Amino acid sequence: MFRTKIGSLAISLSLLTLPVIPSFIAAADEIEEVVAVGTRRDARSVGDSPAPVDVISGSDIKNQGAVDVDYMIRTLVPSFNVNTQPISDAATLIRPANLRGLPPDNMLVLLNGKRRHRGSVISFLGGGIADGAQGPDISAIPSIALKKVEVLRDGAAAQYGSDAIAGILNFVLNDSAEGTRLEIKQGEYSDGDGETWRIAANAGMPFTDDGYANFSMEIQEQDPTARSAQRGDAASLKAAGVPVWEHPFGNGEAQVWGSPKVSDDYKFTANIGLDLDDSKKFYLFSNYAEKNVLGGFFFRNPNNRTGVYDDGSDIS
């Protein structure tokens, strides 16, 4: 009899709640739109693209504290990586950059949608995946010249070839026909070395009534850094009275680990476009860069090096 009472009570409750259900459904149908009034996320991905594409605006690049464009992209794109190579042969001059952990020459770099040439350096002692790779020199592009950067975070080898296995970086130059901008940056490390200063300028002007001409320049100087301790073999030779070469960037060390000295770093870009008619357009863009880089290399211990003239003869 106890079970019967529970069963009847459950049935009565269910019957009582049945007429109430349609009222809730009707109330839900009255909601026409949900609006997000606040968010902490700055959306930058193209949602309607068949592949994940990030669009980095020029303002995002401008707000970075770094001076080189490759370091700016590193802070904005998590899958992009580049670092300073203190003693890495020619990788000290042209830093190897990679996307999604693949070699530098598996990342396609475009400038205004056109394939950018590779650098003149094949990385040796660049570290891991960079060894033997020949990627483009991204640091030659002045950051002030950029309108935006489009990053394809997926392979595109089917369309562009094997150098797009890791993805694509498309640097879009500023095409404004008016306005000027001047940037001055200066900084150094807490140890008092590595002082860096950079002056950059951009100017846009009309090119007839239907075109634009935009020019950018950048000048940069960087002092070296030293985070080294004297090598044991060099210290022993010096204690024995053997003259040991001292690196000019350090504090008497024979071998220095740190950033190289960069001087006479000049970068220029020009971006010109003209609409000829509804279906034709003339365009021209160029990029020129040069710099001097002075770094160190491994210490050669004279105790384990054979002489140049072992047999006492001269070589002409």
Give the pLDDT confidence of 2-20 residue by residue, as tens digits.
343 434 334 333 434 444 4
d(CA 80, CA 107): 10
Residues of the chain with pLDDT > 90: what percent? 31
Number of domains the chain contains = 1
Which residue did the predictor score with more confidence, 20 or 157? 157
pLDDT in tens, 245-285: 788 887 788 888 888 899 999 999 999 999 999 889 999 99
254 domain-assigned? no
Domain presence at residue 277: yes
**CA–CA separation, 186 vs 198, rounded Å?**
6
Q: In this structure, what CATH number is given to the domain that contains residue 139? A: 2.170.130.10
Both tokens assigned to 124: 């040796």
Confidence of residue 40 (pLDDT cuts 50, 70, 90): very low
Structural contact between residues 124 and 90, judged by C-beta atoms closer than 8 angstroms: yes
The answer to whether residue 163 is domain-embedded is yes
Please check whether residue 241 lies inside any domain of the structure.
no
pLDDT digits (tens, 9 = 90+) for 87-131: 777 777 888 888 888 888 889 999 999 999 888 878 776 556 777
The residue that leads in pLDDT, 3 or 31, is 31
Quick check: 23 pLDDT over 50? Answer: no
Q: Which residue has the higher pLDDT, 43 or 185?
A: 185
Segment holding 23, helix H or strand E: helix 21-29
Portion of the chain with pLDDT greater than 70, in percent: 78
More confident residue, 85 or 194: 194
User: Closest Cα partner for 106 from 145, 73, 79?
Assistant: 79
d(CA 73, CA 126): 20
CA atoms within 13 A on the CB side of 209: 1
**Which of 2-11, 32-41, 273-282, 302-311 is predicted with the least confidence, judged by mean pLDDT?**
2-11
Tell whether 14 is covered by a domain. Answer: no
- Residue-level pLDDT at 275: 94
* Confidence band for 299, pLDDT divided at 50, 70 and 90: confident
Please state, in angstroms and rounded to a whole number, the distance separating the CA atoms of residues 5 and 17.
Answer: 19
Q: 3-class DSSP state for residue 263?
A: strand
Lowest average pLDDT, out of 154-163, 165-174, 238-247, goes to: 154-163
User: What's the domain range around 273?
Assistant: 53-224+259-303
In this structure, is residue 109 part of a structural domain? Answer: yes
| The model's pTM | 0.74
Whole-number pLDDT of residue 310: 52
Answer whether residue 68 shows pLDDT above 60.
yes
**Residue 125 within a domain:** yes
Least confident stretch, 8-12, 144-148, 156-160, 214-218? 8-12
* In-domain check, residue 119: yes
